[in-house]
Structure formats: C-alpha cells, structure tokens
Chains A and B, each alone.
Chain A
Amino acid sequence: MSESVISLMNSELQVNTEALTEFLKELLIRQIDEPAEKWLLEKLAGLNQQPQPRDLFLMFSAVPRFLGKNKLNLTIEEINRLKELRKGLSLEGWTVPQTARVLTLCSFQYKDASSFLQLLDQIFSIAEVAEMVALYSALPLLPYPDMLKTRAAEGIRTNMSVVFDAVVLNNPFPCEYLDEAAWNQMVLKALFMERPLYKIYGLEQRSNEQLSKMISNFAHERWVAGRPTSPEMWRPIGKYGPDSIYEDLEKLAAIDHPDQQAAAILAAGSLNTKEAKSFLKSHALVAAEVSENNTTWDDIGIRWGAHHN
C-alpha cells in the first residue's frame, strides 16, 4: 500500500506520517554525533531496498550501540510543532534510541496490512524491555491503527510499569482506539499501579458510567484496607456519578489534605447535578479557595506525583 493511501486512512485523525517521520529524523540528527548520524541515515536509506525482516530486527536491536542511550531533548518550538503534528503525543521521557526505533518502524515500507502486522508481531515477540517501550510508544504513529487495538490491549496487560507507561501515558492511541471496556481497564490499572493519571490523554473525553462505578468501588476497597487514595482518581468520572458518589465526595472533603478536598470540589463541579450543586454550597469555603487558586486536575496530579513517587 502506498504512503498516500496510508495517510488517507489516517486522515480522520489527521496523522501526517511523512511530516512526522521528517520531524523525528530532524530531532534526532540535532542531538547525535556525526558517525551516529551517518549510521542512522545509511540504515534508513537501506530500508528502501526491501530488506529482509531479519535485517530489520538486527538494526532495531543495534540502535543504542551506535546512537547511545541519552534522553531526547525538545526545544519549546519543537514541542509546539509536535502538538500540531500529532495531538496528544508528547515525547516527554523519550530517549534517543527509542526515537530512532520509532523512526525505523515509521520509515519501513510495508507491503500491505497483513505483512505489516506479521512483521510487527515478530519484532514484539523477541523484544527486550527498551525495545518494547519503543514499540508501544510508536502506536500513535504507525499505519493501520485499527489493527493495533489488540496490541495496545496486550501492552496494557503487562506488569512491567515502564512498558505500561509507554502505552498509557502521553500517548493518544488508547483514547482514540480502545473500546470502552479496554479503556476502563486501562484507567483502573493505572490507578492500581499508581501511575500519574494526568499524563493520560483524553481522560475527561472518555469518561463513562461504568468507569465511574469502578472508580467509586475501588475507592471503597482502598478505604477499607486503610490505604490512601490518589486525589487524581476522581478525575475520570466526568459527569457520570453513581449514587454512592456524594458519600464518597463527603468523605474526600473530610480528609485533612488540601488536594483531596480540591478534588472533591472539582469532581462535584464536573458532575453538574442538583446534588453536586448543593455539595458545593455546603463546602463553599473550599470551593472558593479552589477557584481563587485556579486549581486544576493537572496541578493536583503533579503535586501528588511529586510527594508520592
């Protein structure tokens, strides 16, 4: 399938594969030395000569030997440019070899959907930890995204937190492609694994009734066990509150912690029901403080992460 057909398939989500590939390449070249650049460009050019899958596997593994393991740096301009190119994608925490591996996957000319999937499955089946991170972080940039849903769900099933993060955090793919059940499992597992929810793209957008119930139940389990809960956990409920929610919010407002109380206020604000309004009225002092400080869910998440991770 030609490049133009692929970008047509992605057009709904406006992924410009070519421009993104170019962007990643420039990013990399800016921060690697000359021999590394030479190696990379040669290998990328070689991808056009119909390489054997084995050559691709070996190149994929060899990347850090030639490019090192440094963290990737982005300028403000580059961050803004990326926002235009791929909404929801952030390269925060990416490394140089990770970027090069993603670039490799995006540059390979796949014959058709089934050969693409077969090759990808093979690379996954022999991947080490850093390679797995690169593979999953490539999801929002790869062709045939509809066929990658099961792969994303598989990544969410992992118990390796670094791999889980690659699928779930700063990655728009789950929000765009996971069905409701898979999305809910993902959010709940992120809570279980104490991942920073504010780095999940599309939390408010994908809120739903089932998830709200699951979150409320999860809070009850934690409270019974005498374990603290993250104030962030109430963010995904959006406008969906199960009956138990007002009791939960009262409990939250009673915790002697400003961000737990702020979370109760923000959650009530998003519920937008009669009960929520009267809750806000009875907690007017805290509500006023939240609005005065302009406290957002992101602020709460960042502060919680800084203290608990």
Chain B
Amino acid sequence: MINMFIDPHIHMTSRTTDDYQAMREAGIVAIIEPAFWLGQPRTTAGSFQDYYSSLVGWERFRASQFGIKHYCTIGLNSKEANNEALAEAVMEILPLFACKEGVVGIGEIGFDDQTDLEEKYFRQQLELAKELNLPVQIHTPHRDKKRGTARSMDVILEHGIDPGLVIIDHNNEETVREVLDRGFWCAFTIYPYTKMGNKRMVSVVQRFGSERIIVDSSADWGISDPLAVPKTAGLMAKSGIREEDIRLTCYQNALTAYGQSGQMNESDWSDDESVDQRQLFEGNSVLRGQRPGTTTNIIR
C-alpha cells in the first residue's frame, strides 16, 4: 500500500493545525501552496508582498512543525489581475520571490473571467517563468471551462514554453483528453459534494491511465478536503487500480513535474533528520506545550 503522498495544490494559509496533523497522519509528506487570492481583493501591493513572504516564511515553518515539507508557487492570480494599477506594482515584486528557495514554479495563473487584463498579466508571467526556467501552474476557469482551458494552452504554446513544464489544474472529463494530447501535465482537483469527486477521479485513471495525471485537493477557505489525495488513493486501491498508477498520480508525477524547478527533491523529506518530529516540535510555539509523537508513531 502506498503510504507517501504529495498534495501539489493546497492553500494551507486558510487551514488549521488539525488539518496539518491529519494530513501527516494520512501520509502526506510534501505540499505545494500556490499563491492565490484570499477570498476578497487586496488593495495594496504591500498586502501581496506580505502574503508571498508568509508563503516562504511562516507557513513553511508551520508545516515543518508537522513533518510536512512546504513548497509554493508565486504568481499574480487572474482575479486580481483585473486591477491594473495594482497588477503593475505586484509584477515589480514577483521576481524577488520567484527566485527564492522552495519556490517550485509560477502559479497559480491563467484565466478567470477571460478578460484582456487577465491575458496581459498571464502572458507577462509566462515570460517570467520562461526567463527563470520555472514550471508553471495553471488555474483554469470554473465558468466556460473547456474554452478557457484550450485558450490557456494556446497562449502558453504561443510563448514557446515546453508543455512538459506546465501543469494545467482543475481539469474534468471534458478537458483531460486535449490537455494530455497537447503534452501538458493534467491535474485534477477533488472537490467534496460537487464537481470532481473521488469516484469520478477513479474512473478518470481507469480510462486515461496515470501518465502525466496528478491528483490534488485545492483545499482553501471554502468547503474542501485537505485529505482528498490520500482518500482518493484509498478509493483507487479499493477499486483495483494498480499500485504503480496510484503512486504516480498521488505522489510521483507531482514530484517529477515540480521537481524540474530544482527546488523539490525526495531527499528533502526522506532524509530522516528532516522529519524527526522531536526535533521539529521541540520548543515550538504552534503546539503551545503539546508534545507530539515521533515519526515512527505518526507514519502507519
């Protein structure tokens, strides 16, 4: 049974320590937190700077206390790209964060309402990714998804970016074929109740296999499940999907795709010292006096 997972799309800033604990217990060893919007628009570039800072600072530290390696992608999301003055100021500070340790790509960027301004900053950020040779994490629109996804891929290819460096996220049965055929990584977000559920994900893997397919939770401040990846893996196992396909879709493909940044290596977490809970939790301020177990009683 596969017992190591990566959730390559999760917004931990909005989650609690209970989530971190449950995630670690379920076998999640590494996560990627894309820069996104916070549920309401920011009004100053300083808010973005502090947000990016927290992604490479506080949140990274918080995750480490639970034995989870935290990586992130840095970008200006499509919703807030519609405020032009703000977008200009944010584009100024992006390169400073994009080069930092543990930043595995530019993301999540792409289209929301598919406006001209969204396209303008999407393109500018693709150029930045190209210049820094970083992977790109693409948010596809929830409305008019099929057309928006195709248009995102057109734009990316226009900039001469290798599709092997691009992860297209929030796919469904309608978009998967084209994304795979055009050579992109194809990520699926597992949403509780609506949209893509665990069962649908199992059928996608049954139908399309595991090559370049990635499962994530996109858990954030809304109704979402931070355990979506290990739960889906469990359901896949029950449904008779090969262990190797589970390993690829729930662990290895994300590592291969984002590992191209040079900022994410298996040794980051397989190395004993870095997941020694006693060392991680020692004197920490998140647990406020609680003592966790060592790794040996956390991994089952």
Within 8 A of A (CB), among B254-300: 262, 278-279, 282-286, 289
Contact across chains for A127 and B53 when beta carbons are under 8 A apart: yes
Please pick, from B96, B100, B283, the residue contacting A194 in the complex, using a CB distance under 8 A. Answer: B283
A288 to chain B, nearest CB (A): 34
Bound CA–CA A64/B263 (angstroms): 10
Q: Given that A193-B284, A193-B285 are known contacts, is A58 also in contact with B57, CB under 8 Å in the complex?
A: no
- How would residues 145 to 176 of chain A score, 1 for a CB under 8 Å from any chain B CB and 0 otherwise? 00000000000000111110000000000000
Please state if A61 and B61 are interface contacts (CB–CB under 8 Å). Answer: no
B21 interface contact, C-beta 8 A: no
A238-259 near B? 1/0 per residue, CB < 8 Å = 0000000000000000000000
> A58-B95, A58-B96 in contact; A126/B283 too (CB < 8 A)?
no
Q: A61-B100, A126-B96, A126-B97 are in contact. Are A161 and B53 (CB under 8 A)?
A: no
Closest chain A residue to B102 by CB distance? A128
In the bound complex, do residue B53 and residue A125 qualify as a contact, i.e. CB atoms below 8 Å apart?
A: yes
Contact B60 A161 (CB under 8 A): no
Decide yes or no: A65 and B282 within 8 Å by CB, A127-B57, A128-B102 being known contacts.
no
A65 to B285, CA, bound (A): 30
Q: How many Å lie between the Cα of A125 and that of B282 in the bound state?
A: 26
Residue of A nearest to B53 (CB): A126
B93 on the interface (CB 8 Å rule)? yes
Q: A126-B97, A127-B56, A194-B282 are in contact. List 10 more A-B contacts (CB 8 A).
A: A61-B96, A62-B99, A65-B262, A125-B53, A126-B49, A126-B96, A128-B53, A131-B100, A162-B61, A193-B283
Question: Would you list 17 pairs from A and B whose C-beta atoms are within 8 A, ordered by A residue?
Answer: A54-B96, A61-B96, A61-B99, A62-B99, A64-B101, A125-B49, A126-B93, A126-B97, A127-B57, A132-B57, A159-B285, A159-B286, A160-B61, A161-B285, A194-B282, A227-B289, A309-B278
Complex CA distance for A193 and B281, rounded to whole angstroms:
10
> In the complex, A64→B53 CA distance in Å?
18
Interface of A is mostly: helix
List, in ascending order, chain B residues with CB within 8 A of A304's CB. Answer: none
Taken together as a complex, chains A and B put the C-alpha atoms of A159 and B61 apart, in Å, by 9
B interface footprint on A117-139 (CB within 8 Å = 1, 0 otherwise): 00000000111111110000000
What 8 A-B pairs are tightest by C-beta distance, nearest first? A128-B56, A194-B283, A193-B283, A159-B285, A160-B61, A61-B99, A309-B282, A128-B100
Write the nearest CB–CB distance from A98 to chain B, whole angstroms: 11
The answer to whether A57 touches B283, judged by C-beta atoms less than 8 angstroms apart, is no
Q: With a CB–CB cut-off of 8 A, which chain B residues contact A61?
A: 96, 99-101
Contacts of A128 in B (CB 8 A): 53, 56-57, 60, 100-102
Across-interface contacts of A54 in B (CB, < 8 A): 96
Chain A residues near B96 (CB-CB < 8 A) = 54, 57-58, 61, 126
CA distance A160 to B54 in the complex (A): 12
Find the A residue at minimum CB distance from B55: A128
A57 vs B56: C-alpha distance in the bound complex, in angstroms? Answer: 15
| Residues of chain A lying within 8 A (CB to CB) of residue B221 | none
Contacts of B3-41 to chain A: CB distance below 8 A: none
Q: Smallest Cβ distance from B144 to chain A, in angstroms?
A: 36
Q: CB distance B101 to A58 under 8 Å?
A: no
A256 and B95 CA atoms in complex are apart in Å by 58
Contacts of A227 on B, CB cut-off 8 Å? 289
Using CB atoms, name the residue of chain B closest to A65.
B262
